[in-house]
Amino acid sequence: MNNKQKGDILLEMKDVVIDGFSDDRWHEIIKGIDLTIRRGEVIGLIGESGAGKSTLGKAAMGFAQPGCRLTSGSIIFDSQELMTQPEKQKRKLWGSKIAYVAQSAAASFNPAHRLIDQTTESGIRHGLMTKQDAQADAIELYRAMQLPEADTIGFRYPHQVSGGQLQRAMTAMAMTSRPELIIFDEPTTALDVTTQVEVLASMRDAVAKFNTAAIYITHDLAVVAQMADRIMVLRYGETMEEAETTKMLKNPSHEYTKSLWSVRSIEKKATTSTDKILEVNNVSAAYGKNLNVLHDIKISVPRRKTVALVGESGSGKSTIARVVTGLLPANAGEVLFNGEPLPAALSGRSTKQLQKIQMIYQMADTAMNPRHTVGEIIGRPLEFYLGLKGEAKETRIIELLEMIELDESFFDRLPGELSGGQKQRICIARALAAEPELIICDEVTSALDQIVQEGILKLLLKLQNDLGVSYIFITHDIATVRAISDEIVVMLEGKVIEQGMKDEIFSPPHPEYTELLLSSVPEMDPNWLTELLKKRATG
Amino acid sequence: MLPGDFGQAILGQRALPETVAAFRKELGLDQPAYIRYLDWVGGILTGDFGQSFSGRNSSGMDRSRTVMDLLDQRLKNTLFLATMTALVAVPLSLFLGITAALYRNSLYDRVINATTLTTISTPEFFVAYILILFFSSLWGIFPSLANVDPRDTFDERLYKTILPALTLTLVIVAHMMRMTRAAIINLLASPYIEQARLKGISSAQVILRHALPNAWAPIATVIAFNLAYLVVGVVVVEVVFVYPGVGQLMVDAVRTRDIPVVQACAVIFAGTYIILNLIADIIGIITNPRLLHPR
């Protein structure tokens, strides 16, 4: 048997067409893609949401995503044609020869079973291992994935371990049957950057150790650069460009590929002002009667400037927003707005005070009433705060729509008819309608694609210039911080680690945590992860 | 409050007001409501449901029976019928629900859905008479009367109870079966179900091992609801089959304004609901590791 050598073709997809069902008919969502993977090779699939990455990744297993069908073309895995094979046959490959690692490990582990039972399930079901062997092997794999307490962690339920640990356990689960191909579907997208580094490193080691071929799906070029030997760029179900990783990073030939990291091209010169619009002094806060989640917070926001709140999930960023807006009254400390103390609770604040602080949310979808038209959504604060009615209100709504670079044709549309970026723009217009002095933006670009993100960030900068609003910008994405902020506040476990001008924070020396956070942000250099791990190991 | 008065009902329209008053006094009905209530609660707490009003005769011998005595055999009969129905209906609806989810949208699924919907949409007395028509009148397999007697052997009892149990099964299967099917199908869109499929697990295993364990809470709630119905809501079926159950007893007691019996039945019915729902909640908790094994 000579066909198991590294470099031999493992999977060959030719002219694959996949249809998806929507609006009562079938649409082509993958339009004839070729993809070849050799044994031991890692290929990166990159593109925006809706590009068809996941669909293509699952098709490599011969699996049609729910609501999709494999229409034509050929998918040959290890000399078996998966396109026409019945599911019963393909099931013998799934979980044994080909494994899948999903985006959200938290949702993809069954809440009803212990980790180890799920890890060993495919090995036992496929008759590859006995239960004892499978459990011993799973524990070895947990250790290889550097999970803490490898001997016992498998006996916990999914909700008892952290997101990063789950993601590693899922990679271990994929490895149990020593597959020849693993499909990683955005495995680190839901993780914090600091966790992402560890997960990436252990996934890369595992793939190298067992000489597994892999398809690595992501929208983050810098991440894929660490993992893949070759990168394929997808857009609207078509291949834009395919090349060796180093070559593509150095010299992307396609316009679209270049635009993928365009957010990184926004540069804002950081300035500050001594005129503070908001000061948060020694604030502590807790949810209910629980322990404090904010400890002695002291930050300030200069007028007409942007302060970015950075930190991992759970660090208390959004809680600060809730304290400032009055949704969560602080236990201690005070919030000064324009030099005057704000009542802690929402109910104690005057309409004027409410009007001057507005908020924009991460999920534009859920932040708007799906039954209200755009005109009603934007018109509501105009009526409530400014008392505008009839003609005057309508004129103002159209003005606002122009401000967010949409036109009056949007007036009667419902949120469901808008794209993600357009929805977020409507939310911005709604905040602006109140004529606020301070807008709190809570992860407003996190759910959006790179190019759409760029548009929203540029719009926010332009509005700041024209209208002089101040922003508190909550995000975990360092690239966004670089693009938009004047000052930065770094947070960890409900405490402020440091606050300062952007240039100061980004230039060394850093406090330990800031150092960890900044160094964890993936860079385009394919050697970045290797170098970083080397550096961390030597300390 | 139940309108009407036992004294008036038993002595008739032409009774003299004095007679009624004397009769009320004997039964303690002249006491204020709160005292009667406290007496009654005190009695229940010491296991005494009181004395039935019927059978009393203010001028002669007291042939009335205690409520416990009246209820005893009736309750046993009701529980016998309920248990028998449950033992058939619950496994049957789980099986139908799971297989319908497994072969969803197939002909099998549609036939089962249509059939169970038909049986639940038909009034239960109608189902009962249809069964009687075929199984007793035409084919003569089962008796049309289910007048069980304490002296019956277990087999005789079983034999007599088959038609009412079958009627009730047809009435409650649809609800439980459809809930099982819906609870499972609801979960099939979960990422962990797709993950299980991508691990090469067969469809049947995906449903049994990955969907069902997460679906127990809603299924248990519906089962509890239907089991409670078997105890408290089957009076129509009891009447059709002349089955001596608690439902008939309560209806008779209401008709004769026999308050102590009505109260005792109400307590039993309420208790049934509470206990069964409590069990359903406990099942919901022990099948959810998030609640059973906190972080």
CA distance A207 to A202: 9
CA distance A481 to A498: 15
Q: Are B293 and A157 inside 8 Å of each other by CB? A: yes
Q: Are A96 and B290 inside 8 Å of each other by CB? A: no
* Mutate which: A54, A63, A87, A108, vs B, most B CBs within 10 A: A108
Residues in B closer than 8 angstroms to A58, CB to CB, are 198
pLDDT in tens, B198-215: 999 998 999 999 999 999
Among the partner-chain residues A102, A111, A159, the one whose CB lies closest to the CB of B195 is A102
SS3 of A479, please?
helix
SS3 of B29, please?
coil
Residue type at position A382: L
Within 8 A by CB and 6+ apart from A7, the residues are A38, A39, A40, A41
Residues in A closer than 8 angstroms to B185, CB to CB, are none
Shortest distance between the Cα of B267 and any Cα of chain A, in A, equals 37
Among the partner-chain residues B191, B201, B214, the one whose CB lies closest to the CB of A125 is B201
Residues in A closer than 8 angstroms to B202, CB to CB, are 91
**How many Cβ atoms sit within 10 Å of the Cβ of residue A515?**
12
**How many Cβ atoms sit within 10 Å of the Cβ of residue A155?**
14
Radius of gyration of chain B (CA): 24
Which tokens sit at B273? Answer: 């609901």
Shortest distance between the Cα of A275 and any Cα of chain B, in A, equals 46
Shortest distance between the Cα of A502 and any Cα of chain B, in A, equals 38
Which tokens sit at A117? Answer: 């039972």
Pick the CATH number of A276-507 from 3.40.50.720, 3.40.50.300, 3.40.640.10, 3.30.540.10: 3.40.50.300
Which tokens sit at A64? Answer: 């049609």
Q: Is B190 on the interface with A (CB under 8 A)?
A: yes
Where helices occur in A244-373 by DSSP H, the ranges are 245-250, 255-259, 317-325, 351-356
More confident residue, A476 or B183: B183
Closest chain A CA to residue B215: A112
Q: Are B200 and A122 inside 8 Å of each other by CB? A: yes
Shortest distance between the Cα of B179 and any Cα of chain A, in A, equals 20
Nearest Cα residue to A39 out of A10, A14, A61, A1: A10
Per-residue pLDDT of chain A in tens (539 residues, 90 and over written 9): 444 677 788 999 999 999 988 778 888 888 889 999 998 899 999 888 778 888 899 999 999 888 888 989 999 998 888 888 898 899 989 988 999 998 888 889 999 999 999 999 988 988 888 999 999 999 998 988 888 888 989 999 998 888 888 888 998 899 888 899 999 998 887 778 888 888 888 888 888 888 899 999 988 888 888 889 999 998 888 888 888 888 888 887 788 877 776 656 677 777 888 888 889 888 898 887 778 888 888 988 999 999 999 888 778 888 898 899 888 888 888 999 988 888 888 888 998 889 999 999 888 888 899 899 999 999 999 999 988 888 999 999 998 999 888 888 888 888 888 888 889 899 999 999 999 999 999 888 877 777 788 888 888 888 898 888 999 999 888 888 888 889 999 998 888 888 888 888 888 788 888 888 888 888 878 888 888 888 888 86
CA distance A458 to A478: 16
Residues in B closer than 8 angstroms to A157, CB to CB, are 289-290, 293
Residues in B closer than 8 angstroms to A190, CB to CB, are none
Q: Is B202 on the interface with A (CB under 8 A)?
A: yes
pLDDT for the residue numbered A429: 92
* Sign of the alpha-carbon torsion through B125, B129, B130, B136: positive
Shortest distance between the Cα of B149 and any Cα of chain A, in A, equals 47
The residue ranges of DSSP E strands in A354-452, in sequence order, are 357-360, 438-442
Q: What is the DSSP letter of A510?
A: -
SS3 of A309, please?
strand
**Could you tell me if residue B49 is inside a domain?**
no
CA distance A224 to A53: 13
Helical axes A115-125 vs A163-175, angle rounded to 10°: 20
SS3 of A191, please?
coil
Q: Is A100 on the interface with B (CB under 8 A)?
A: yes
**Could you tell me if residue B141 is inside a domain?**
yes
User: What one-character-per-residue DSSP string does B217-271 give?
Assistant: HHHHHHHHHHHHHHHHS-HHHHHHHT---HHHHHHHHHHTT-HHHHHHHHHHHHH
Shortest distance between the Cα of B273 and any Cα of chain A, in A, equals 28
Q: Look at chain B and count its residues.
A: 295
pLDDT for the residue numbered B55: 63
Q: Is A63 on the interface with B (CB under 8 A)?
A: yes
Q: Are A102 and B293 inside 8 Å of each other by CB? A: no
Shortest distance between the Cα of A181 and any Cα of chain B, in A, equals 13
**Could you tell me if residue B41 is inside a domain?**
no
Which A residues 107-166 touch B at CB under 8 Å?
A: 107-113, 121-122, 125-126, 156-157, 159-160
Q: Which fold has domain A40-63+95-260?
A: Rossmann fold (3.40.50)
Nearest Cα residue to A138 out of A126, A124, A159: A124
**Dihedral over alpha carbons A265, A268, A269, A273 (to 10 degrees):** -160
pLDDT for the residue numbered A1: 40
**Could you tell me if residue B293 is inside a domain?**
no
The pLDDT of residue B10 is above 80 = no
Among the partner-chain residues A92, A160, A173, the one whose CB lies closest to the CB of B293 is A160
Shortest distance between the Cα of A405 and any Cα of chain B, in A, equals 37
Among the partner-chain residues B191, B197, B293, the one whose CB lies closest to the CB of A104 is B191
Q: Are A164 and A148 in contact (CB under 8 A)?
A: no
Q: Are A110 and B196 inside 8 Å of each other by CB? A: yes
A&B contacts, CB < 8 Å: 79
Among the partner-chain residues B196, B288, B295, the one whose CB lies closest to the CB of A160 is B295
Q: What CATH number does residue B232 fall under?
A: 1.10.3720.10
User: What one-character-per-residue DSSP string does A200-264 give?
Assistant: HHHHHHHHHHTT-EEEEEES-HHHHHHH-SEEEEEETTEEEEEEEHHHHHH---SHHHHHTT-GG
Residue type at position A154: G
Residues in A closer than 8 angstroms to B293, CB to CB, are 156-157, 160
Shortest distance between the Cα of B193 and any Cα of chain A, in A, equals 8
Which tokens sit at A495? Answer: 């405490």
Within 8 A by CB and 6+ apart from B203, the residues are B102, B197
Among the partner-chain residues B205, B289, B295, the one whose CB lies closest to the CB of A111 is B289
Shortest distance between the Cα of A107 and any Cα of chain B, in A, equals 6
Q: Are A95 and B189 inside 8 Å of each other by CB? A: no
H/E element holding A283?
Answer: strand A276-286
Shortest distance between the Cα of A133 and any Cα of chain B, in A, equals 18
Give the count of domains, chain B. 1
Q: Are A109 and B190 inside 8 Å of each other by CB? A: no
Radius of gyration of chain A (CA): 25
Q: Are A112 and B189 inside 8 Å of each other by CB? A: no
Q: What is the DSSP letter of A342?
A: P
CA distance A515 to A487: 17
Q: Is B189 on the interface with A (CB under 8 A)?
A: yes
- Interface pTM, i.e. ipTM: 0.77
Among the partner-chain residues B198, B202, B210, the one whose CB lies closest to the CB of A110 is B210
Closest chain B CA to residue A91: B200
Among the partner-chain residues A96, A102, A113, the one whose CB lies closest to the CB of B191 is A102
Within 8 A by CB and 6+ apart from A194, the residues are A312, A516, A517, A520
Domains A40-63+95-260 and A276-507 share a fold: yes
**Hunting for tokens 């190991």 — which residue is that?**
A537
**Could you tell me if residue B9 is inside a domain?**
no
Residues in A closer than 8 angstroms to B198, CB to CB, are 58, 61, 63, 94-95, 99-100
Q: Are A316 and A493 in contact (CB under 8 A)?
A: yes
Residues in A closer than 8 angstroms to B104, CB to CB, are none
Pairing mode, if any, of strands A42-46 and A213-218? parallel
The residue segments making up the domain with residue B224 are 73-287
CA distance A41 to A231: 11
Domain boundaries, chain A: 40-63+95-260, 276-507
Among the partner-chain residues B190, B200, B293, the one whose CB lies closest to the CB of A96 is B200
Q: Is A92 on the interface with B (CB under 8 A)?
A: yes
Shortest distance between the Cα of A321 and any Cα of chain B, in A, equals 28
Q: Are A157 and B213 inside 8 Å of each other by CB? A: no
Q: Is B192 on the interface with A (CB under 8 A)?
A: yes
The phi and psi torsions of A68 (rounded to 5 degrees) equal -125, 160
Q: Are A335 and A325 in contact (CB under 8 A)?
A: no
Which tokens sit at B44? Answer: 């229940």
pLDDT for the residue numbered A65: 84
Q: Is A58 on the interface with B (CB under 8 A)?
A: yes
Q: Are A525 and A518 in contact (CB under 8 A)?
A: no
